[in-house]
Amino acid sequence: MDSFTYVNIFETKGLEYLLLLCFWGLFVYLIKYLSTPDKKGNDSS
């Protein structure tokens, strides 16, 4: 029976997929974050 081998994430596209998932997650968060500006402070300089 073949033994289980770990996949080296550095040798596959794994990191790229993870980064893209992070990107999309953070991008959606950023858009939501920027969609409602805080009305409190406005320090004109």
Partner 1 sequence: MNKDVAITDSFGNFFSFLIQELKPRGPWLTPFNIISIPVILTGVGILVYRFIHGLGSVTNLSQETPWGLWMGFDVVTGVALAGGAYVITFVVYVMGVDKYHGIVRATVLNGLLAYSFYGAALLFDIGRPWNAPNPYIGNSFGFSSVLFLICWHFLLYMIAEFVEFSPVIAEWLHLEKAKRFLKKLTLGTVILGITLSILHQSGLGALFLMAKPKVHPLWWSEFIPILFFVSSIYAGLAMIIVEGTVSHRVFSRLIPEKHHDHFDDIVFGLAKGAAITMFVYYFFKALLFIHDGQWDLIVDGWGLWYLVEVIGFVLIPALMFAFGFKHRSLRIIKIAAVMALIGIVLNRMNVSVICYNWYADVHYIPTWQEFVVTFMVIFSELWVFRWFVTRMPVFSADH
Interacting residues toward partner 1 by CB under 8 A? 10, 15-16, 19-20, 23, 26-27, 30-31, 33-34, 37-45
Q: Which residues contact 45 (CB under 8 A, 6 or more apart)?
A: none
- CA dist 36 and 17 (Å) reads 30
Tell me the two tokens of residue 19.
Answer: 């980064």
Which amino acid appears at position 44 of this protein?
S
Minimum CB–partner distance for residue 3 and partner 1 (Å): 27
Shorter beta-carbon distance to partner 1: residue 1 or 7: 7
Minimum CB–partner distance for residue 22 and partner 1 (Å): 8
